[in-house]
Copies of this chain bind each other. A is one copy, B any other.
């Protein structure tokens, strides 16, 4: 499969051209308000002096790195600000491959951009399928590790499945990486959307074999701002070359990340209390409840969402192909993603993103369609 052309845009275009109104459950674009302090930060930045409009340090605004380092409990030298989690994952994968090995291990179902990046980096990829319940078994990862494995990329809370990996899983994954002298790359961009209370950051385990990536795209509802970060092993310790390499690659690819966005996020980080995040988490929990109730009514199987804002579901006698995605758009007025876009393990499922206030309407439409 050619992962270098993610299918999101193809589905969105089809939905936009449809001859009816369609509930868009395709992309992971939050539909709620950003923190008020984000808007204020951007306004204040717009009025700042010309010096503030010039290159920040290539690794990012120092105050923003400090704020992140303090919150994550890591040394500032380990933090690099990136153009969203996308670039953070790119740097993590590219530097892991530069360090050792030729293969990246991914989880199936997979977030397609991971697979696309592996292809772009001319590396090999292999997939570890999840279990029936959507959970990843670290023993399955261990069984597929080889001498050529450069890195394992995991995402928790997970897109597309919505599962959250618990502390045991995360600790075991780090051990597996250490045992095979590979890197664990833990993408935690949905960390503010854990409904299970079981989420564990890979930063909880002290290890030079782990890179954590994240961003403010989802937690602050600003996917277009492109402010993310990676936490690498300390540049002065074991595997310290990874950070040096990432700094250099970031500088030579992008020079630095966009400063207005960094300034706005800095203000939002400082001024936004936990209520903002709780409120959105509660709203999404309600949407999930509404949507899965309708799935039950439609006789669908689905993975119980514990985090993020996606639901993967399987309908009786209606596979998650592109053709059926188009039928759902035309006949039910609901646009989801075909499971086949996310690999083999759930290729006959659909993925729905709950980033629309019309979740209830979509649920009703699906229930009626499958009645």
Interface residues, chain A, CB within 8 Å of chain B? 4-6, 9, 27, 29-34, 39, 42-43, 45-47, 50-56, 58, 83-84, 86-87, 90, 113, 116-117, 120, 221-227, 248-249, 251-261, 264
With A54-B29, A224-B56 known as contacts, the answer to whether A42 contacts B254 (CB < 8 A) is no
Cβ–Cβ < 8 Å partners of A256 in chain B? 224, 226
With A30-B54, A55-B27 known as contacts, the answer to whether A4 contacts B248 (CB < 8 A) is yes
Cβ–Cβ < 8 Å partners of A52 in chain B? 224
- Complex Cα distance, B32 from A34, in Å, reads 32
Cβ–Cβ < 8 Å partners of A87 in chain B? 253-255
Copy number in the complex reads 2
CB pair A226–B255 under 8 Å, yes or no, is: yes
Residue of B nearest to A90 (CB): B253
The distance from the CB of A231 to the nearest CB of chain B, in whole angstroms, is 19
- Complex Cα distance, B34 from A45, in Å, reads 13
CB pair B258–A221 under 8 Å, yes or no, is: no
Residue of B nearest to A220 (CB): B53
CB pair A251–B84 under 8 Å, yes or no, is: no
- Complex Cα distance, B226 from A225, in Å, reads 12
- Complex Cα distance, B255 from A249, in Å, reads 16
Q: Which among B31, B42, B51, B54 is the interface contact of A260 at CB below 8 angstroms?
A: B42
Q: Which among B120, B223, B248 is the interface contact of A249 at CB below 8 angstroms?
A: B120
